[in-house]
Amino acid sequence: MPEIAKFVNSGAATISPALAEKVLRQLPQWKLEFTQIDAPKFPHLVDQLEFLADATEDAMEGVYKELPFVAVAQAVFALIYAHKKMGIIPESIMDLGRADDSSVVRAVLIQNEKAFAIYAGKQGVDWRRITSQA
């Protein structure tokens, strides 16, 4: 996980508020796209992406102001990464195509666990379900 965390941190460092705003406008479409992910080896990925998208929307729209921008930037990076068709592991590789997406998302959730757990609680979301501990 440390290498993935470095990758996420490096990618998140490139996320500006302006880029986050552009992603915000794309999120409704991306959320629909994410629901179509068929990744039985990563059963929590769709819920995790939806959670990150919701947190990003709430933070960027000012509905939830307590989420640190570093958490938002990492979430935006993970959402962009999952949206791309080519990653470290191409989606076309059977059973493993979403392993990199899942790793990036998990790194974001783990690195920002406290902030996201508080957000989840305030939204009535079971944090254990998002972190796959349920």
Question: What type of residue is 97?
Answer: G
Distance CA 25, CA 45 (A): 22
> What percent of the chain has pLDDT above 70?
87
Q: Where are the domains of the chain?
A: 2-130
Distance CA 133, CA 51 (A): 15
Distance CA 102, CA 111 (A): 14
Q: How many residues does this entry show for the chain?
A: 134
Provide the pLDDT confidence category of residue 99 given band limits of 50, 70 and 90: confident
- Residue 1, pLDDT above cutoff 70: no
Residue 107 in tokens: 């790194």
pTM: 0.91
Provide the pLDDT confidence category of residue 134 given band limits of 50, 70 and 90: very low
Phi-psi sector, 16: left (phi>0), alpha (psi -120 to 50), beta = beta
- Tens of pLDDT, residue by residue over 59-92, are 999 999 999 999 999 999 999 999 986 566 655 5
- What are phi and psi for residue 66, nearest 5 degrees? -85, -10
Residue scoring higher pLDDT (43 or 85) = 43
